Amino acid sequence: MNPRFAMAIHYYVFIVFFMHISVLHVLALNPMIGNVTVKCIESERQALLALKQGFHLNNNAWLSSWGHGDNQKECCNWEHIQCSNETGHVLKLDLHVSDHIVRAGSITTALAELHHLNYLDLSYISFNLTPSIPIFIASLTHLRYLNLSHSGFQGKVPHQFGNLLFLEYLDLGYNSLLAEIPPQISNLSNLVYLHLGSNSFHGNIPPQLGSLLPLKYLDLSENGFNGTIPENFGNLSNLEYLDLSSSYQISLSSDLQWLSHLSFMRHLSLPKVNLSTANNWQQLVSGLSHLQYLDFNGCDLSDSIPSSLSSAANFSTSLSFVDLSSNNLMNSSLIFPWLMNSTSSLAMLNLDHNYLRGTIPQAIGELSSLEYLNLASNQLEGQIPISLFHVCSLRELDLSGNRLSGQFHEFAKALSNCNHKQLQTLKMGWNEITGMVPDLSSFSSLQVLRLDSNGLNGTLHEGIGQLSNLRELRLGNNSLEGPVPAFLSISAQVFLSNNMFSTANLFLCSNVSANTEYLDLSNNHIRGQLPDCWMNFQSLGFLDLSNNYFHGSLPRSMGSLRQIQSLHLGDNNFSGEIPLSFVNCTELRLFDAAKNNLTGPFPSWIGNNLSNLFILSLHSNQFHGSMPLNICNLDELHLLDLSLNSLSGNIPKCISNLSAMASQATSKVDIFYAYDAYYDDFDGITSFGVNADSASLIWKGKMSKYRSTLGLLRSIDLSSNIFNGEIPSEMMSLVGLVSLNISRNKLVGNIPQGIGQLKSLDFLDLSRNQLSGRIPSQLSQLDRLSVLDLSYNDLSGQIPLGTQLQTRDASAYIGNPKLCGAPLNKTCLIPTQNPVDGNDDHEEQFFTEGFYIALAIGFIMGFWGVSCSLILKKSWRYAYFKFFNDLYDKLYVFAAIKMAKLKRLRA
């Protein structure tokens, strides 16, 4: 028979069969067609009404067709229901609500009356009164389709589910199910689709899953499995989709040998699975000729394939998604050629956070379908190939964090040849790219541009101002110069730190700055007074103007920054008082105006109006007067630095109200300012930008800038002021303090006994005050203390014993002439045990200076009284020496007798 004629016959038979099935399907969905009237079973109708009543819905519009009215008696006509056109039994119940969750009470056991049900979908219904999956669902033994995802179920999967022998589709994803997957799941021998992802399952993946031979779709992602992936997964020869991904490092491992049997695999996602023993992973993946999606992110992979295998003939030409990020790949000359075999369809390639060395090959330009390329955070070097910029389908390109070189204007020119309207994200920061930033106006879709930490110079082209979609612009750490252009205010996030910009007035007073959310102009050469234009920045949440040459008063219009959360004004030459209008900045969490010439009394309104403050740093200014009591209202405050001012008066006792410092840091807490970057990644999800906040403080004698560990600090620095009075004992309740510096003041009195409560202290400086009395012995119990300075006070007595105090350099105690004991070279006259209880004052009153003088005089008088008597009175002298002579004779005779007896016993 003619092959073409045979093929035509086959197609004809297939079409007739398909049309027959379609007609039957339509009849099944519409039981009224063909003049056939089917009525639902009354018991099943009542079961459905009981189910609706159990939902306790406030809005019944969802099931409005279900009811008791005359026109509602026929349940086969209700929405979400499908009945058999022959028997009237309910076959299908589809109540899922797409894309949002409905809270719906409980599932009534009346559902078990639907004995003929083969399709049940209750997804996206949160059964808040039914915490566990009802066991009676397992009695619906005709079920072929069961979807209970996104329903808030907890507890275990009922092992009775093993009775659902006809089940082909099971989705229990996105619940809070725990324990192990019941082994009875192996009974579901007809299962084609199984989704158990996003739960809390733990333990080993049951090997019984390997016996579900018809399985095509298996999702076990976002759980807590450990052990190895079962080798009998290789039996699932029909498997097309496998997802074991996790957002955190899991304890699963595998050598991937089972992959060689899964010839139909299209989607393979194993991120965070330990594949360090999979020495031939590239060869195994190359054998998956239908593979489209490959995710091996964070799998501890290393280079394994010899160059001779890089052109394997059966490598999938349909591969469109590859994520090999966060591994140990090193050899770019192996990995790139291996991937070049899928030039026809590769759309997403992520190799960031590896150790790739060498150059990017020119052949990468042959990936004509490439939309997303991420090679960031590697060790690539050399020229960026121009061919890469001829890939006109690119939407996101990230080459940041390498040692790549080239002229940026050449890359921009190549991109513009594509009439590039798709490129949304261009990240090339932290490389060795040089030259000027050219006209980029042709990149009309650009949302993110990162060129920071390169060698760019010159002024910025005004074409950037035409990028109306630009949300984030990073040009920091370059050598850009001239005025900050006004057109940059089109971007919501502007990072221009560490350049050589000279003025900023045009930018700050532009009319389009209302959209600016994040602005960093720090570490430039910007001079002059700040313009009074801040009413234009209604959306500004982060502002950093530190380390410039600004002078003059702070503009009152800065009080218009009602959304500001982080304000950095330090290291300038601002003068005058902080404007009262700052009371409107009630969202402030970080306020740093250190190292200026600000004057006036300490602003009393800070404690009343800026209640969200996390960090307050005003050191190195000229504030004077007392510290207002309302500063104690800042119960969120973690860092208070008012050092190097002229503040006076007592330290307020209410400082103990700074409750955030009264709790110990249990984990690392970073302080972030988050901003919405409004750009789409390859998967279409809107991304959010995050920048770790920072603050400068004097730490262990030098100025340091803290960023990632800033949230761990709990610090008070009031040093170099004119505070007087005693150290408040109430301060000792701030047990979370890591640093306390109140040196260089005029404080008097004793060091509070409660200082031993500050067990988190790493830094304590009480030097250069007028403190007196003994050093509390509790100070030796602070085992985390790395820096201690008590020098130049009026402390007395012995330094308490303990390695924390004796092993320190003597410089920590100098300038206290009444101190003695190690590590000082001054020995105490009579070593005494340091007091450990509340009797310090009584003992100090007894062992006074007069007591030691009287003791010395008594010794001298007694010694010379006896000696002079013996010298002057001859009879007394004879009697004295005769007494000792007789005593010597008696002792000698006694010893001789005892020795003789001992010798006789030994003989």
Phi, psi for residue 686 in degrees, rounded to 5: -70, 130
pLDDT digits (tens, 9 = 90+) for 731-740: 999 999 999 9
CA atoms 596, 598, 603, 609: torsion sign: negative
Lowest mean pLDDT among 103-112, 522-531, 661-670, 801-810: 661-670
Whether the CB-CB separation of 556 and 581 falls below 8 Å is answered with yes
156: closest CA among 131, 120, 174, 136? 131
Which of these, 612, 611, 614, 575, lies nearest to 593 by C-alpha position?
Answer: 575
Q: 764: which strand partners?
A: 740, 788
For 519, residues 6+ apart whose C-beta sits below 8 A from its C-beta are 493, 494, 537, 540, 542, 543, 544
467: how many CB neighbours lie within 10 A of its CB? 21
pLDDT tier for residue 16 given thresholds of 50, 70 and 90: very low
Q: So what's the pLDDT on residue 36?
A: 45
Torsion sign over Cα 362, 365, 370, 371: positive
Q: Stretch 113-131: mean pLDDT, rounded?
A: 90
Q: Which pair of structure tokens corresponds to residue 708?
A: 């990632």
pLDDT at res. 334: 86
- Which residue has better confidence, 725 or 871? 725
Q: C-alpha distances in angstroms, 558 versus 495, 523, 536, 537, 601?
A: 20, 20, 10, 9, 20
Hey, how many other C-beta atoms are within 10 angstroms of the C-beta on 201? 22
The tokens describing 279, both together, are 């020495």
Beta strands in 533-671 (DSSP E): 542-544, 549-553, 566-568, 573-576, 590-592, 597-601, 615-617, 622-626, 639-641, 646-650
CA distance 905 to 907: 5
Backbone phi, psi, residue 790, to 5°: -115, 15
What percent of the chain has a predicted confidence (pLDDT) above 90? 63
At 852 the pLDDT is 55
What pLDDT does 668 receive? 52
Tell me what pLDDT residue 251 has: 86
pLDDT, greater one: 53 or 184: 184
- Residue 253 pLDDT exceeds 90: yes
DSSP state of 445: T
pLDDT on residue 28? 45
What sign does the CA torsion over 285, 288, 289, 294 have?
negative
pLDDT surpasses 50 at 600:
yes
**Sign of the torsion formed by the C-alpha atoms of 261, 266, 270 and 271:** positive
Strand pairing class (372-374; 396-398): parallel
pLDDT tier at 614 (50, 70, 90 boundaries)?
Answer: very high
**Among 758, 755, 708, which residue's Cα sits nearest to residue 738?**
758
Calpha distance 423→97 (Å, rounded): 36
Residue that wins the pLDDT comparison between 36 and 520 = 520
Strands 145-147 and 169-171: parallel
8 A C-beta contact, residue 508 and residue 485: no
Mean pLDDT, rounded, for 667-694 = 49
Spell out where 530-621 has E strands: 542-544, 549-553, 566-568, 573-576, 590-592, 597-601, 615-617
Q: Of 63-77, 421-435, 608-622, 808-822, which gets the smallest average pLDDT?
A: 63-77
Question: Measured between alpha carbons, how far is 543 from 533 in angstroms, rounded to an integer?
Answer: 14
pLDDT in tens, 749-775: 999 999 999 999 999 999 999 999 999
Q: Which amino acid is at 419?
A: N
Q: Would you state the pLDDT for residue 26?
A: 40
Cα(475)–Cα(427) distance, integer angstroms: 11
3-state secondary structure of 442: coil
Mean pLDDT score across all residues of the chain = 84
Supply the DSSP string of 298-326, one letter for each residue.
Answer: TS--B----GGGTT-TTS-S---EEE--S
The crossing angle, in degrees rounded to 10, of helices 874-906 and 849-872 is 90
pLDDT for position 366: 87
Mean pLDDT, rounded, for 741-748: 97
Query: How far apart are alpha carbons 649 and 642 in whole angstroms?
Result: 14
Q: Quickly count: other Cβ atoms within 10 Å of residue 79's Cβ.
A: 11
- Single-letter amino acid, residue 664: Q
Angle at 674 between CA 671 and CA 676, to 5 degrees: 175
Share of the chain above pLDDT 70, in %: 79
* Among candidate residues 470, 403, 390, 394, the one with its CA nearest the CA of residue 437: 470
**What is the DSSP code (8-state) at residue 126?**
E
How confident is the model at residue 372, as a pLDDT? 96
Does 778 score more than 50 pLDDT?
Answer: yes
Alpha helix segments (H runs only) across 377-496: 408-416
Peptide bond between residue 823 and the one before it cis (omega within 30 degrees of 0): yes
Tell me the average pLDDT across 475-482: 97
Classified as helix, coil or strand, 353 is coil
The closest alpha carbon to 588, from 554, 562, 555, 557, belongs to: 562
The pLDDT of residue 315: 65
* Distance of alpha carbon 828 from alpha carbon 679, whole angstroms: 72
Examine the pLDDT at 381 and tell me if it is beyond 80.
Answer: yes
Residue keyed to tokens 């060395």 = 357
What pLDDT, on the 0 to 100 scale, is given for residue 839? 42
Give 47-105 pLDDT, tens digit per residue. Answer: 999 988 888 765 556 788 888 887 788 999 999 999 999 999 999 999 987 666 777 77
For 611, phi then psi, to 5°, come to -70, -15
pLDDT at 432 over 90: yes
Q: How far is CA 149 from the centre of its chain?
A: 29
Which pLDDT score, from 0 to 100, does residue 859 have?
Answer: 59
Place of tokens 């509790």: 778
Q: Cα dist. 368→142, 360, 387, 860 in Å?
A: 50, 16, 10, 105
List alpha helices for 798-848, DSSP H.
Answer: 803-806, 840-846
User: Which tens digit of pLDDT belongs to each residue from 315-335?
Assistant: 667 889 999 999 999 999 889
The answer to whether residue 686 scores a pLDDT higher than 60 is no
Check pLDDT > 90 for residue 220. Answer: yes
- Report the pLDDT value the prediction gives residue 127, as an integer from 0 to 100: 83
Rounded CA gap, 706 and 201, in Å? 40
The average pLDDT across 541-551 equals 96
Assess contact for 646 and 721: CB atoms under 8 A: yes
* Least confident among 464-478, 551-565, 574-588, 675-689: 675-689
Q: Does pLDDT of 284 surpass 80?
A: yes
Inter-CA distances, 749 with 499, 725, 818, 845, Å: 51, 8, 15, 16
Whether pLDDT at 249 is above 60:
yes
d(CA 265, CA 241): 6
What pLDDT was estimated at residue 877?
59
Cα 300–304–307 angle (5° rounding)? 145
Kindly tell me the burial class for residue 203, based on how many C-beta atoms sit within 10 Å of its own C-beta (0-12, 13-18, 19 or more). middle
Which is more confident, 311 or 863? 863
- pLDDT for 100 equals 64
Among 24-28, 181-185, 241-245, 339-343, where is mean pLDDT lowest?
Answer: 24-28
Read out DSSP for 265-292? --EEE-TT-B-TT-TTHHHHHHT-TT--
What's the rounded Cα separation, in Å, for the pair 841 and 835? 10
* pLDDT value at residue 106: 83
Q: From CA 76, how far away is CA 36, in angstroms rounded?
A: 13
Q: Round to whole Å and give the CA distance between 829 and 811.
A: 22
Residue that wins the pLDDT comparison between 1 and 616:
616
Residue 667 banded pLDDT, cuts 50, 70, 90: very low
Q: Please state the φ and ψ torsions of residue 88, each to the nearest 5 degrees.
A: 85, 0
Q: Which of 382, 403, 402, 396 has the alpha carbon at shortest distance from 424?
A: 396
* pLDDT (0 to 100) of residue 415: 77
What integer pLDDT is reported at residue 328 of this predicted model? 96
Q: What is the pLDDT of residue 724?
A: 96
Contact 634, 611 (CB under 8 A): yes
Q: What is the pLDDT of residue 15?
A: 35
- Going by C-alpha positions, the residue among 503, 505, 471, 463 that lies closest to residue 487 is 463
Q: Output the pTM of the full model.
A: 0.80
Tell which residue, 245, 250, 167, 170, has the closest CA to residue 204: 250
DSSP state of 163: G
What is the mean pLDDT of the segment spanning 697-720?
A: 71
Most confident segment among 369-373, 420-424, 885-889: 369-373
